[in-house]
Chain A
Amino acid sequence: MQWQTVCKQEDLIPDVGVAAIFEEQQVAIFYLPKTEQKVFALGNWDPCSKANVLSRGLLGNLGNKLVVASPLYKQHFDLQTGQCLEENVSVPCWAARLVDGKVELASHENREC
């Protein structure tokens, strides 16, 4: 896997998302300091509302899935797979990690993560 830095850890806010541009695509990066993986990256484009808003959704867990809720019509997207829980759509998903104060994404888009 090709890791690339997208932004600094200090750009992140605990338990909320931020948006970034990564390889000319809008990515929503979520920082969940209390989970094992800590950072997650999904496409920022919400296919249900057709707007770039997922980074501005609320975070949480439903059962054993970590999710973000779209701020517009409230569908949930699985942070680990990008799959929408209510509708048969999904968003792109990147592998993400924190290294030395930097946020790194795996350079290729990977639907399965």
Chain B
Amino acid sequence: MTQTQQHKPQLVVVGNGMVGHHFIEECLTHSGHEHYQITVIGAEANLAYDRVHLSDYFNGKSAAELAFTNGTLYNRNGIQYRTSTKVVSLNPDAHTVTLDSGENLRYDKLVLATGSYPFVPPITGHDRKNTFVYRTLEDLDAIKACAETAKTGTVVGGGLLGLEAANALKNLGLETSVVEFAPRLMPVQLDEAGGAQLKSMIESLGVRVYTATATQKIIDGDNAVHRMVFANQEGKEQDSYLETDLILFSAGIRPYDQLARESGLEVGDRGGITINNHCLTSHPDIYAIGECALWQGRIYGLVAPGYSMAKAAVAHLFSTGGNAFTGADMSTKLKLLGCDVGSIGDAHATTAGAKTFFYQDDIAGCYRKIVVSADAKKLLGAVLVGDNSQYDTLLQYYLNGIDLPEQPESLILPTTSESPALGVDALPASASICSCLNVTKGDISTAVANGALSVADVKSATKASTGCGGCAALLKKVVDNELLALGVEVSTDVCEHFAYTRQALYDLIKIGEIKTFDELISKHGRGYGCMVCRPLVGSMLASIWNEYVLAEPHVSLQDTNDRYLANMQKDGTYSVVPRIPGGEITPEKLIVIGEVAKKYHLYTKITGGQRIDLFGARQEQLPAIWQTLIEAGFETGQAYGKSVRTVKSCVGSTWCRFGVNDSMKMAIDIENRYKGLRAPHKLKFAVSGCTRECAEAQSKDIGVIATEGGWNLYVCGNGGMKPRHADLFATDLDDKTLIQYIDRILMFYVKTADRLQRTSVWMDNLEGGLAYLKAVVIHDKLGLAQELEAQMAHLVDTFQCEWKTTLQDPQKLKAFKPFVNDDRSDNNIIFVEERDQIRPATEQEKHTLLVNS
């Protein structure tokens, strides 16, 4: 420790959860660490992680992926931290806290961010083995271990978290039940009809729901580990019961307020550390933030208000001029067990004079209610079950006090004609767009005005939509609207010749069975076409019908590279890339490549994609080069197309001492299956033989890693300009399921991605992102799976090596002649030698060479 640090005042943060961590980030933003020596004490073994997405831990996200920091952030900024360490007492007068090790820490300022713990009702037997709560990574580890032997699981509590936990149990393969004490599910957020609707939807998914049911005691079961004996109306034991192997309590949360309570700070009657608008407790040197804090008699069980408190505390501590805490909106929108649920404001119509409208559709399975003010001018609250499409609009009416339309019910009635959607135009600058990160419409306008001209840029500038992600659609609308206001064209038309998006054109081609560009433009477009729509349509026709790309009607659509089936280099010559599936090549084939390179005097290089590129071929040499390559058994590598490129592989279990599966064979099979597939952008795959990941599969559009149990599938990664790690999509797949999923993912991408959009950007732009993609591919949410597979099967069946076809057509070969009326070749192509190989001469060199000759 340096001298100056020792003399800095001490700021101690108790609790390293979501809010405690956010507090530190806020301190760093305001250089608070330069004024205070900051120390953070956390009881959990892990540093702060994303508890909101805790359930993703069961879906394959690792603890490292959920972590907010691995300590680097703290180390770099001189913040001291301790994990697995509990603060056991607090002495406000002495300004000290005592750790469970017995050590005392002195502080000048203290921040309590201790969060809360799950409440376990004191039922007899609540502490038997195989009973759990759902709050931390350790809890989930324990649940997972138990689920390996358990067959049935029961969640006590049918609130928001309970239903999320039930979903997790169901995904772990348990037969799942939910027992709720209240007469309906989600009693806090939903009204009776909404709760009933949700119950019937959840039951149809195979989860049993008991409402108005209290458990009297838990004893040994006959056919399962536990028997939960239910109480009757009078609270007396009755003979109804439920047997289950695993019990998970989710009966609400209680603030961790013992430290405050025992040291004499003011706490609420029903718990919670009392704070004011600056998040100060009753002691002037102690703040409390997050779920342990009680503000105006309320505890907020959501992360966004906690983040606002962290900001307010920092604002007060460092006099940054930031806002005080003035309460937060508790509206929620979520998907529980696949059902949309939304609750806004005064869902129970408790405001005096409030009027309600509701709409229920038992066939489609949806229920909507709005609560409006007595004069029907303002929206006070809403309940949505089964369909959240109106949530964003309703929330904006509510948050911004926007005047309701003449007939408020039109907001929830089924949309026969155009529904009165609330234009983002109508929102005031103060409208909150992203409540997790507290980003307003005004913040977004500023970001756009400062040069963030896309949703991605605005996201990184404002952090909007980086929390729960629920605001993604709205954010896009606001960004588009801002761009429009700046006069930036945000037309989604592909170009001046087609007033359609790529996806719409794709559907027009497919449904209308359109086979040529001319037919498409005469039916649905105008003009002659251009450099945007011609290759775009060429690519879509290839993705759908898979005809030979140089066939007469298609040749004028091909970009130069596709037209000559080779990549044009800076001097007008071409490169040649034969396919080398998985990077595996026989010595014979290597020799052929070497001989071809020698004969035609080509520059030879191993590519980044585990194959060999031959550069400097003149247009007229391409057919002869390919003739030799094809005779030796090579096929085109499609390095020129927006299409499947390479499948990178490691040697895998055949040779490597660590390999757990034959990655080489899988790579070759995958490459041979998808070769030739034309897509909105290029596609790169890789297969590794074990988690050491020598093939770098996690940087690919499709990455496959062998596991003891099969294959883990990663999707939507890339290197290039904006590297992005792939996301884990599914684990331990068998060969067949792996291919099935890849088929579906690729065809869904081909069908819905925008032009020149790689898979990563595509997925980030899908509303619902990875989860949605999983729903479509794994759970067949759109009922498309079969169609996607059939279409891929068609493409696989109709694959042809374009070079082979071309070599058989004398007419096509004519096009490789440099001049239609002369046998010479381009005299501007001049090479010089460097490191024993050719390279294009520079302008200067050309000049000298020409003068000398």
Contacts and interface: CB of A to CB of B under 8 A. Distances in A.
Given A7-B820, A11-B820, A18-B820, A61 B570 contact: no
B106 interface: no
B560 A61 contact: no
A108 interface: no
B826 A63 contact: no
Contact of A51 (B534, B535, B571, B822): B571
A51 to B, nearest CB: 4
B821 A60 contact: no
Interface string B541-579: 000000000001001100111011000101110000000
A71 B559 contact: yes
B826 A72 contact: no
Interface string A59-91: 111110011010110101000000000000000
Contacts of B535: 58
Contacts of B528: 32, 34-35, 59-61, 66
A54 to B, nearest CB: 10
B741 to A, nearest CB: 36
A19 B533 CA distance: 24
Contacts of A53: 560, 568, 572
B556 A11 contact: no
B821 A56 contact: no
Contact of B496 (A15, A26, A63, A76): A63
Contacts of A113: none
A71 B819 contact: no
B279 to A, nearest CB: 56
Contacts of A106: none
A60 B534 contact: yes
Contacts of B570: 49, 51, 72
Interface in A8-29: 8, 11-16, 18-22, 26, 29
B828 A58 contact: no
19 contacts: A7-B820, A8-B820, A14-B552, A16-B555, A19-B818, A20-B821, A26-B819, A26-B826, A29-B820, A34-B528, A50-B843, A51-B570, A58-B530, A58-B556, A60-B528, A61-B497, A63-B496, A66-B528, A71-B561
B821 A7 contact: yes
B531 A60 contact: yes
In the complex, the 3 A-B pairs of residues with the closest C-beta atoms, listed nearest first: A15-B556, A60-B530, A71-B560
Given A21-B822, A72-B568, A16 B530 contact: no
A36 B529 CA distance: 16
Contacts of B824: 21
Q: What is the predominant secondary structure among interface residues of chain A facing chain B?
A: strand
Contacts of B530: 58, 60-62, 67, 69
B815 interface: yes
Given A49-B570, A51-B570, A57-B560, A13 B531 contact: no
A52 interface: yes
Contacts of B561: 71
A86 to B, nearest CB: 12
Contacts of B534: 58-60
Contacts of A67: 530
A6 interface: yes
A60 B497 CA distance: 10
A113 to B, nearest CB: 19
A19 B824 CA distance: 12
Nearest to B820: A11
B489 to A, nearest CB: 15
B423 interface: no
A34 B528 CA distance: 9
Interface residues of B, number: 32
A74 B556 CA distance: 16
Nearest to A12: B820
B531 A56 contact: no
Nearest to A45: B828
Interface string B804-843: 0000000000010011111010101000000000000001
A49 B556 CA distance: 22
A4 to B, nearest CB: 11
Interface centre among A13, A50, A66, A76 (most CB of B within 10 A): A13
B527 interface: yes
B540 to A, nearest CB: 16
B556 A62 contact: no
Interface centre among B528, B534, B564 (most CB of A within 10 A): B528
B771 to A, nearest CB: 38
Contact of B828 (A12, A22, A35, A52): A52
Given A26-B826, A32-B528, A69-B531, A56 B820 contact: no
A88 to B, nearest CB: 20
B826 A71 contact: no
A21 B818 CA distance: 10
Given A50-B843, A52-B826, A69-B531, A6 B560 contact: no
A22 B820 CA distance: 11
Contacts of B533: 60
B556 A14 contact: yes
A110 B305 CA distance: 72
A61 B527 contact: yes
Given A16-B563, A45-B828, A61-B497, 16 more contacts: A11-B821, A13-B556, A15-B555, A16-B555, A18-B815, A19-B819, A35-B528, A49-B570, A51-B828, A60-B497, A60-B529, A60-B531, A60-B533, A61-B530, A62-B530, A71-B560
Contacts of A13: 555-556, 815
Contact of A58 (B531, B568, B826): B531
B564 A56 contact: yes
A6 B819 CA distance: 11
Contacts of A14: 552, 556
A17 to B, nearest CB: 10
Contacts of B818: 19
Contacts of B819: 19-21, 26
A67 B563 CA distance: 18
A49 to B, nearest CB: 7
Interface in B328-381: none
A71 B568 contact: yes
Given A34-B528, A60-B530, A72-B570, A19 B820 contact: yes
A76 B826 CA distance: 22
A56 B571 contact: no
A6 B572 contact: no
A53 B618 CA distance: 12
Interface centre among A14, A45, A49, A56 (most CB of B within 10 A): A56
Contacts of A29: 820
Contact of B563 (A21, A56, A69): A56
A52 B527 CA distance: 28
Interface in B489-534: 496-497, 527-531, 533-534
